[in-house]
């Protein structure tokens, strides 16, 4: 069996909603620093994505950009992952996340999914098997990371199907 890892990352701190469209909100200075810290934490934990599935919203793309720089600097020998910007991560919900995961080839071992709340927190909570679930709310803060693992193929991704191995909130 092959261990597969799903890293859920909520985008970093973004500008307060205002006159610009939500889709176009940028990261704050703190958000950029936190996204960099998220990438550094992934390096420290030896979590290198083979595939990145990212919302196309500006703040998620900027989160990936800062995290990817930290990943590249922390482990320059590790190649850059394939990146897919998926509208479903912005416009959809948890059903669409599971659909995206099920479409990933089983040759991919580690996925980094960068999205928005409440969806990323809901997906993390849904993935936890009954024997690990303690009833506590799973709420990812900005730059929050939840790492889930499974020996099943991605096509079998389903609620209660991936153990929560680590949680972290990155701060720069």
Q: What is the pLDDT of residues 15-28, one digit of tens each?
A: 998 889 999 999 99
The predicted structure's pLDDT at residue 46 = 95
The predicted structure's pLDDT at residue 77 = 85
The predicted structure's pLDDT at residue 137 = 64
Q: What is the pLDDT of residues 40-79, one digit of tens each?
A: 999 999 999 999 999 999 999 999 999 999 999 988 888 8
Of 19-28, 128-137, 145-154, the range with the lowest mean pLDDT is 128-137
Decide which of 85 and 79 is more confident. 85
Looking at the predicted structure, is the pLDDT value of residue 136 above 70? no
Q: pLDDT band at residue 159, thresholds of 50, 70 and 90?
A: very high
The SS3 of residue 168 is strand
Rounded to whole angstroms, the Cα distance separating 145 from 42 reads 9
Encoding tokens for residue 159? 């609620």
Residues 6+ apart with CB under 8 A from 134: none
Exposed, middle or buried: residue 154 (CB in 10 Å: 0-12, 13-18, 19+)?
buried
């Amino acid at each position: 069996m092959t261990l597969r890892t799903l890293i859920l990352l909520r985008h970093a701190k973004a500008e307060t909603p205002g006159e610009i469209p939500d889709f176009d909100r940028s990261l704050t200075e703190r958000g950029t620093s936190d996204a960099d810290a998220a990438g550094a934490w992934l390096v420290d934990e030896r979590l290198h994505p083979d595939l990145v599935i990212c919302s196309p919203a500006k703040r998620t793309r900027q989160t990936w950009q800062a995290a990817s720089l930290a990943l590249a600097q922390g482990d320059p020998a590790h190649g850059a992952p394939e990146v897919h910007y998926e509208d479903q991560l912005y416009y959809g919900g948890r059903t669409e996340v599971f659909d995206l995961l099920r479409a990933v080839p089983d040759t991919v071992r580690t996925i980094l999914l960068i999205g928005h709340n409440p969806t990323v927190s809901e997906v993390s909570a849904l993935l936890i098997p009954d024997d690990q679930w303690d009833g506590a709310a799973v709420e990812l803060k900005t730059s929050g990371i939840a790492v889930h693992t499974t020996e099943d193929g991605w096509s079998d991704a389903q609620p209660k199907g991936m153990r929560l191995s680590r949680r972290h909130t990155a701060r720069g």
